[in-house]
Amino acid sequence: MHTDLKLAATLLKRGQLQRLEDARGSLVLCLSGTLWLTQEGDSRDIVLEAGDEARIERDGLSILSAMNDTSFVVSHDRTALDGLLRASAPRAARAAA
């Protein structure tokens, strides 16, 4: 069993793009900002806000576009993403207080 013990967040400034090739099955978790996901061969556009996630359903080109300054992670490991969400929840609660 492979587990990502540390997931590195990708940071994009507004308007920047991240290309993912043949990433079917990957989960995208938006940590902050707003992220637009589009997949080759899929007419849907998916918009993710902080805390939202989406699974890349197709091979081919997927493009993640920052609609504003955004941070996100991409992983195949559901457990690692759940751990990241649990770890970031107390920070988010402190920031809102």
For the chain, list residues with pLDDT below 50. 1-5, 90-97
* pLDDT, position 8: 82
CATH architecture assigned to 10-96? Sandwich (2.60)
Q: What is the pLDDT of residues 67-89, one digit of tens each?
A: 999 999 998 766 655 555 556 65
Cα first-last separation, the chain: 39
pTM of the predicted structure, to 2 decimals: 0.74
Q: Would you kindly state where each structural domain of the chain is located, as residue ranges?
A: 10-96
Structure tokens at 57: 């359903």
H-run or E-run covering 81? helix 78-96
